[in-house]
Amino acid sequence: MVNYIWVGMMVTGFIVAIFSGNVDKVNAAVFKSAQEAVTISLGMISILVFWLGLMKIAEKGGLLEFLALLFRPLVKRLFPDVPEGHPALGYILSNMVANLFGLGNAATPMGIKAMEQLKVLNGGKNEASRSMITLLAINTSSITLIPTTIIAIRMNYGSHTPTDIVGTTLMATAVSTVFALSIDRFFYYRSVRKEKK
Amino acid sequence: MSFINSFSIWFIPFLIGFILLYGTYKKVPTYEAFVEGGKEGFSLAVSMIPYLVGMLVSISVFRASGALDLLLDFGKPLFDWLHVPGEVVPLGLMRTISGSGALGMTSDLIASHGPDSFIGRLASTIQGSTDTTFYVLTVYFGAVGIRKMGYALKVGLLADLVGFIASIVVVSLVFS
């Protein structure tokens, strides 16, 4: 599916550009965005190095194991494929906690580390496993208690009640997370049934 | 408000300090562990480059060519019929494909309609309630070299759609 969307967006873009006379703009966009992608990736080195270094201390001190133990009932239900006491669980939980508190730049390194552990668990294959997709579903629907960026923008534009969207955001994000988890389950069971046939 | 602000400011040093002190208490060689863990950061960042280049180029071609606008014009009758406020439809679509693009649109909507207007609040809620699916997918899978995504994209896109609808419903119920 991702192959079709990827080719589709590009080819449609080129065709539309020919008819609308935006070919120059599109040419510029290709190289500008390629450069942007490299800048973003390299820019992440600092965050990754810092947080992964810090997380190593937490891991060696047993803090991640403790976190995994604390939330065992929840995590067992969300990630039934991951054996108890596996290091992936600690990273998954740190990722969720960081997301909850809106620490985006800490959540990403922890999520990536969790993915790495899940890949090891999946035999190092380049295919997404069930647990990887669940972790992704949680991250794309992003439960955040306090959306700090948005509150800051609202304050910038002189809002009288910059935080009154916290409640609506929480409700919307809860709905989308619950839905993401259910549909993730649904697709998983469907893929299992397909394999059996 | 000031409580929330100071909370997020104080939380990071508190967290860092806590991990360092806890590690010291548990007799972890903290500095050595930090260096050991941090080493991996570089290779992870480098390995996501081709994934991110591929995805961002495709998205920016789609945007810069005017194809995105065309798609929105095309769908306008449908959105009107469904009573979706036309102002936020581009934002809903952008939220899925580009985080910085969506943030720009949200700021625009808040600036032109006012932060405490219905549209301003709706845009804020849409922006805050989901994350950029394409970005999260590309970065997380790219860093560890997952090429076959399975049904991950479907889950992400459907969750975005539901989040968008939920934002409209909730904001309409609460603020009008």
The yes-or-no verdict on residue B142 having pLDDT over 90 is: yes
ipTM for the complex?
0.87
**Residues of chain A neighbouring B74 (CB-CB closer than 8 A):** none
Cross-chain residue pair A30–B8, CB shorter than 8 Å = no
Q: How far is CA B44 from the centre of its chain?
A: 20
Residue B76 at interface with chain A, using a CB cutoff of 8 Å = no
- Tell me the pTM: 0.86
SS3 A197: coil
B83: distance to nearest CA of chain A, Å?
A: 18
Per-chain mean pLDDT for chain B: 88
Give residues with Cβ within 8 angstroms of A107, minimum separation 6. Answer: A95, A98, A99, A139
* pLDDT number for residue B175: 86
Residues A51-82: tens digit of each pLDDT: 999 989 998 998 888 888 888 888 889 999 99
DSSP codes, A84-97:
TT-HHHHHHHHHHH
